[in-house]
Amino acid sequence: MFTGLIEDMGEVSSLERRSRSAILSVTTLLPSDEIKNGDSISVNGVCLTVTGKKGNIVSFDLSPESLSCTTTGELKSGKTVNLERAMKLGDRLGGHLVSGHVDCVATVKKAVLISENLTLEFEMPPDKTRYIIDKGSVAVDGVSLTVNNVTASGFSVNIIPTTLKTTTMQNLKSGNKVNIETDIIGKYLEKLSTPWKKEGGLTLEMLSRNGFI
């Protein structure tokens, strides 16, 4: 699990294609002595497993699933990426619970800079917007952000100057693709309520009838 608070902006060293999979190598300022093979690191919001390390370069295997469902396949040498190591049990949760499992890819519809704050509008698959609520949490390329507004086909956020300086949000422009992970709590609630759909959904009447309230 991650918090959505970025520790470092790494730089892609290489993306080596191997048939339908790939090996991604990233240069990072994260302390190399604290990173070992098997560790989980969020790379632009995608939970990846460390498979190699040489100096300050960390390598990851990219599966066909990761390449097809995220923006990792578009990474090129020299591109910056958001990095966060998995949180430790007992750490402060400064952002929100982020699993590193991307729900969809969204497109930047508009990027407007106002008084050093960047407002971003995203367009995404309509069936995923039901997991996003006004003033709720969302992870954009691994960055924990608060939702400003939600529409039928997307949402908007505000990026404060500190976040702009320390994440790849500073590079986003109209037309760019980003990884989106919606709030995990909403997805679990939907899954848990599924058995009750035959009775008209999860309602106060249903909860009372079954002894929950």
What is the second-level CATH architecture of the domain 8-85? Beta Barrel (2.40)
Residue 53's alpha-carbon distances to 31, 36, 42, 71, 116, in angstroms, are 12, 8, 16, 23, 37
Flag whether pLDDT at 188 surpasses 90: no
Task: Please report the pLDDT score of residue 202 as a whole number.
Answer: 60
Mean predicted confidence (pLDDT) in 152-163: 97
Overall average pLDDT of the 32-43 stretch: 97
Judge whether residue 178 has pLDDT over 80: yes
- pLDDT reading at 161 higher than 70: yes
Tell me the helix, strand and coil percentages in the chain, rounded to 5: 25, 40, 35
pLDDT higher than 60, residue 198: no
Task: Give the H/E segment covering residue 68.
Answer: helix 64-69
Beta-bridged to residue 111, according to DSSP, are: 120
More confident of the two residues 108 and 188: 108
The confidence band for 113, taking pLDDT boundaries of 50, 70 and 90, is very high
- The per-residue pLDDT for range 46-81, each reduced to its tens digit, is 999 999 999 999 999 999 999 999 999 999 999 999
| Res 207: pLDDT | 66
**pLDDT value of position 68:** 95
Tell me whether strands 143-151 and 177-182 are parallel, antiparallel or unpaired. Answer: unpaired
Domain 104-189 has CATH 2.40.110.10: no
| Fold match, 8-85 / 104-189 | yes
90: β partners: none
pLDDT at 192: 75
Domain ranges across the chain: 8-85, 104-189
